[in-house]
Chain A
Amino acid sequence: MEKMYGSAGFFASDDAQVTVEIGAEKKGIEIKSKVSKLFNAQIEGAVKDILDKFNIKDAYVLIEDRGALDYVLRARIEAAVIRALASRKEGDEV
């Protein structure tokens, strides 16, 4: 499967830069955040919700968080997924 890549958001205060790779060897969720210990579970939950929404089973998602609120984080994850899927060639399955 062709690797699909998408990124959204900015590494700036109150925002998060989210990178999504679908079809890459690396899988899972990586979180870089000053508050990751406190909010790890919540951030991972947001990632899983959005991946489920798009029916994506395997992906690597990198979250570089600078204090994004939940609604911002979810927006950035969704935008990154949409951009990754837009880079998909016709006929490929996720």
Chain B
Amino acid sequence: MNRSLLFIPGNAPKMLNNCDVFGADGLILDLEDSVPFEEKDAARILVRNALGNLRDAECELTVRVNSKDTEYFNDDIREIVPMKPAALVVPKVSTTEDVQQYDNAISEIERLNGIAEGTIKFYALIETALSILHLEEIVAHDRIAGIILGTGDLGIDLHIKRTKEEHEFLYVRSKMVAAARAYGKRCYDTPHLLVHDLEDLEKQVKIAVNLGFSGKAAIHPKQIPYINEYFSPTEEEIKRAQAILDSLEEAKSNGKAAKMVDGIIVDNANIRAAKEILGIKE
């Protein structure tokens, strides 16, 4: 269950050493925005080695590489792909052509290293105006495991005047969820940048949960417990889900249709929702 994705600066040994104990479901070892230009070369070697050190970590290991349009991209994938992270976080994805270009580049390195093509998945960062118009094509690509909202760059591209409430991103958030869910892919809300404002974090996490996101990215370990808690079903939801499936079984064995549980109609939609809560695949 990948509720939380924690960004870890790729040139910070202290953070890399301890990142698997912060409780995040997934880690994004970052070679892009958190690494100064003069340290890009050293950071990719450090992250490569860190992936080896984190081999037994009980979380999903991903790496955010530099954009394919930068001088750093080819060296990044040459070092990182052979370590077989679960996914690469690919920035500045605007169209399906961008995804395909990333796909072609990574496929080549997979081939050279005896890795089955397509093994390493992508999380595409949605951070350009054009990407919003091409969301469906982007998420439909086989390589895409999910999409992550990046409001920093996106806000600039959209000429948005940012507010604390972030209502201005409601359309983008809803469209991302619709596109991702339609294709069975994961979608992650943007990191909360006010690191010390946990009260506001809690509000934003609840909004993301209500909108249907799979989870939320984070930039500080103290954000993880809030994200994990709210993106997990509550005891009450689990009990109700089990009660719905139990009533269905009971009705089947009596040759009847299940009707209601706790005032909730036992229809196909609620049965699906119950199975999702209990982690039961169709």
Which of these, A12, A14, A68, A79, contacts B45 with CB under 8 Å? A79
Among A54-80, those with CB < 8 Å from B are: 68-69, 71-72, 74-76, 78-79
Number of interface residues of B (CB under 8 A): 13
Q: Note all chain A residues with C-beta closer than 8 A to B234.
A: none
B41 touches A14 (CB 8 A): no
Q: Is the interface of B mostly helix, strand, loop or mixed?
A: helix
A71 touches B52 (CB 8 A): yes
B14 touches A75 (CB 8 A): no
Q: Note all chain A residues with C-beta closer than 8 A to B17.
A: 14, 69, 72
Which of these, B13, B52, B53, contacts A14 with CB under 8 Å? B13
Q: Note all chain A residues with C-beta closer than 8 A to B49.
A: 71-72, 74-75
What 1/0 mask marks residues of chain B from 15 to 55 whose CB sits below 8 Å from any chain A CB? 01100000000000000000000000110011011101100
Q: How far is the CB of B16 from chain A (nearest CB, A)?
A: 8
A68 touches B42 (CB 8 A): no
Among A1-57, those with CB < 8 Å from B are: 8-9, 12-15
Q: Note all chain A residues with C-beta closer than 8 A to B53.
A: 69, 71
A75 touches B45 (CB 8 A): yes
Can you name 26 A-B residue pairings with CB atoms under 8 Å?
Answer: A8-B42, A14-B13, A14-B14, A14-B17, A15-B14, A68-B13, A69-B13, A69-B17, A71-B50, A71-B52, A71-B53, A72-B13, A72-B16, A72-B17, A72-B46, A74-B49, A75-B49, A75-B50, A76-B46, A78-B45, A79-B41, A79-B46, A82-B41, A82-B45, A83-B41, A83-B42
